[in-house]
Amino acid sequence: MKLQRWGSLFAICAGLAGCAGLETTALPFKDAKADGLATGFRYYETSPFLLIYTDGKGGLVSKLLYLPDMTKKRSIKPYTYLSSNNSTLKFENGTLVQAKAIIDETVIPTTVISSLVKIAVATAAVANTGVKKAEQDTMPAPYLFRIVQKDDVWTLAAERDDGIRIRYMPEAAK
Amino acid sequence: MKKLISTLMGMGLFVMLAGCVSVVTSKKANPNDVGVHYFLPQPVIQMTPKKDGTMEVEVVYWRDVNNEYTVVANSYLGKYTFDLNVDERGFLGAVSFDADSSGLAKQALDSATELRVAKINANKEQAKTEAAEAKAKEDKQVAANTSAGAAVKKAQQDLAIAQSKVNLLMDAKVSAKPPTDIDAQILAAELNVAEKEVNLTFAVGEQAQLTKSTASTANMATANSADKGATTPAKLAPQAPEPSFLLVKMTEESVSLNPAFVQADRVTWKPPTPPKQLVGLTIKVPSPVARLKSGRGPVAVVTANQPLRDVFLNSADVPAGVPLPMISLQSDNLTVNIHMADKTPRGDYQIVLDMVTDANAEAIDEINAKAKFEFGEKAEVKKPIGEFRTAKVRVE
């Protein structure tokens, strides 16, 4: 009888003893309430973006960037109750860069990237034509596109203000 | 009752053996919150424009003050190590939890303390380095100014001496018994004066450039001083537009770039170029005898020891009525052909050439370019000063 009682006690404790790990929560975009209630380390997931800018020689340069996606905030919390938990989280520029969170640049097929680059370059080139006299000694600001995948369709999304110009000569020299 | 006590004792013993109960929480920061603070990043596209229309584009991350959080760690009935690294920008680095049998869990507090100590030490080191650099720069500037001043003084003295020699020779010429080669001596002395004048012009130019550079540096230092804020830069100091920073604003479906600041102009500076070693211009006359060359009349050849930009005829002692020789600089910029006129009678002639060296011309070009940059079209354009050299030519 005694043996049975000690056995049940150990079973309960063993159940409690296994309680350790990492708890990850997705925090909805602009949801201050959820952000206020969360208790884990905050970080952003990354998303792919396409940056296009002039090379100053009549051509355009494109770069594929994986930026912290400010619309994908996460909370990760290590917990341990009656147990041990040896773990390391590594963050870089506000993103989690460990194991499964490591950026995998092969996630977008190469052919898709090259097609998107062509579209983006064409868009930027059209916008660059017809520079007014007042805009001399300036260059167009870069173009940043979000690469969006819906089902099997890849698209570029951007809210573009073509009025932004970057000066490369001082105002007095114009 | 006995059974209950033994049960509770058993559970207590197990809890103690099993290890720690630890709680690490990270929550939205309030101004007075204790614990380690960290921020989420705001991506920014930094564009540094260059004068040639190209630009350097870089993605940088600023701390997003609207996303500031704190970390607090607590542990009950257990021991563990908690390491938290926050970089200088305020972003999370590595966070590690490790079982530790040697001490109680107060490492969160230690981490925060160590972080503060490290920051204080880093600031102290940086201040020390900056002070040393500023002192070295100041010493260098003083030495350069002293050296430039001495160079101007010496050039002035040399010119005065050369001018005195000319005056003495001129006096000797009108005396009762002038030396037979008095004209040649006067010419040589006048050439020497011309050379000293060039030296003085360069020395004064270098000193002016140095003074301007010092003033630009001082203006920049004033503009950078935090207590005085933005100061109007010197009117004539060269300026360039500052880098542009574009904030990346995201929505779930799209993205946009918004300028963080209005792009302003800032004073620029470049270190003064070391004075060029002036090599005296000398000429050789490998072919002093002018003979018929390719049916174009007698030609004598002169070579210079350094590249020439231009060569003109200053004077030639050919008899009256005989056309003056024609001068042509060859494509190697070192060889000068002296084409004597066909009608030149046989004899020895002194041809004085006005030679503009590349080095002189470049120095004047640089001065003109600076003047144009500062004063625009109103800038006074200076012409390069030539040096006189005499070639003795025989026509046979």
Closest by Cβ to B255, choosing from A41, A55, A157 = A157
Per the structure block, which two tokens stand in for B133? 């650099």
**Whole-angstrom distance, CA of residue B81 vs CA of residue B100:** 6
The whole-number pLDDT of residue A47 equals 93
B134 to chain A, any CB pair closer than 8 A? The answer is no
B126 to chain A, any CB pair closer than 8 A? The answer is no
The whole-number pLDDT of residue A65 equals 94
Closest by Cβ to A170, choosing from B26, B93, B265 = B265
Average pLDDT over residues A104-133: 62
B96/A89 Cβ within 8 A: yes
**Whole-angstrom distance, CA of residue B339 vs CA of residue B334:** 16
How many contacts does A have with B, using Cβ atoms within 8 A?
201
B23/A9 Cβ within 8 A: no
B47/A43 Cβ within 8 A: no
Confidence (pTM):
0.51
Per the structure block, which two tokens stand in for B241? 């537009």
The whole-number pLDDT of residue A46 equals 93
Alpha-carbon dihedral of residues B146, B151, B156, B158, nearest 10 degrees? Answer: 140
**Residue A126 vs residue B367, higher pLDDT:** B367
Closest by Cβ to B19, choosing from A63, A84, A145 = A84
Among residues 40-59 of chain B, which lie with CB inside 8 Å of chain A?
40-43, 45, 47, 49-55, 57, 59
Give strand pairing partners of B389.
B353
* Per-residue confidence in pLDDT tens, chain B, 396 aa: 555 555 545 444 444 444 445 677 899 998 888 888 999 999 999 999 887 778 889 999 999 999 999 988 776 655 567 788 888 899 998 888 664 433 333 443 444 455 556 566 666 777 788 888 888 888 888 888 888 888 888 888 888 888 888 888 888 887 877 888 888 888 888 888 888 888 887 888 777 777 766 665 555 444 444 344 444 444 567 788 889 999 999 999 899 999 998 888 888 888 887 776 667 888 888 777 776 555 566 788 889 988 899 999 999 998 888 888 889 898 888 999 888 888 788 888 899 999 998 888 888 888 888 888 777 777 788 888 888 999 888 887
Which range among A19-28, A149-158, B103-112, B266-275 shows the weakest confidence by mean pLDDT?
Answer: B103-112
Q: Is the pLDDT of residue A124 over 50?
A: yes
The whole-number pLDDT of residue A83 equals 59
The proportion of chain A whose per-residue pLDDT surpasses 70, expressed as a percent, equals 63
> Å from B106 to nearest chain A CA?
16
Per the structure block, which two tokens stand in for B363? 């120095």
Residue B186's nearest CA partner among B168, B200, B161 is B168
Alpha-carbon dihedral of residues B117, B123, B124, B129, nearest 10 degrees? Answer: 150
- Do residues B45 and A51 touch, judged by C-beta distance below 8 A? yes
In SS3 terms, B225-276 reads as CCCCCCCCCCCCCCEEECCEEEEEEECCCCEEEEECCCCCEEECCCCCCCCC
**Helix (H) or strand (E) run with residue B202 in it:** helix B182-224
The whole-number pLDDT of residue A56 equals 82
**Residue A74 vs residue A119, higher pLDDT:** A74
B27/A36 Cβ within 8 A: yes
The whole-number pLDDT of residue B345 equals 85
Amino acid at A85: N
**Whole-angstrom distance, CA of residue A16 vs CA of residue A30:** 36
What residue in B sits closest to A40 (Cα-Cα)?
B26
**Whole-angstrom distance, CA of residue B305 vs CA of residue B313:** 18
Which range among A125-139, A154-168, B40-54, B334-348 shows the weakest confidence by mean pLDDT?
Answer: A125-139
Closest by Cβ to A80, choosing from B20, B42, B69 = B20
B143 to chain A, any CB pair closer than 8 A? The answer is no
Interface test with chain A among B3, B21, B255, B372, by most A beta carbons within 10 Å? B255
> Å from A110 to nearest chain B CA?
22
Among residues 212-241 of chain B, which lie with CB inside 8 Å of chain A?
239-241
Max mean pLDDT among A39-53, A74-88, A122-136, B348-362 falls in A39-53
Reduced to 3 states, what is the DSSP secondary structure of residue A170?
Answer: coil
The whole-number pLDDT of residue A103 equals 36
Reduced to 3 states, what is the DSSP secondary structure of residue B34?
Answer: coil
A171/B97 Cβ within 8 A: no
Q: Measure Cα distances from B295 to A11, B113, B336, B342, B393 in Å.
A: 120, 94, 18, 10, 19
**Whole-angstrom distance, CA of residue B362 vs CA of residue A116:** 50
Residue A145's nearest CA partner among A158, A155, A154 is A158
Q: Using a CB-CB distance cutoff of 8 angstroms, which residues of chain B are in contact with residue A39? A: 25-27
The whole-number pLDDT of residue B256 equals 93
What residue in B sits closest to A55 (Cα-Cα)?
B54
Listing from the earlier edge strand, what are the strands of the sheet with B387-395? B308-316, B347-357, B387-395, B283-292, B298-304, B335-339, B326-329
Q: How many CB atoms lie within 10 A of CB B142?
A: 11
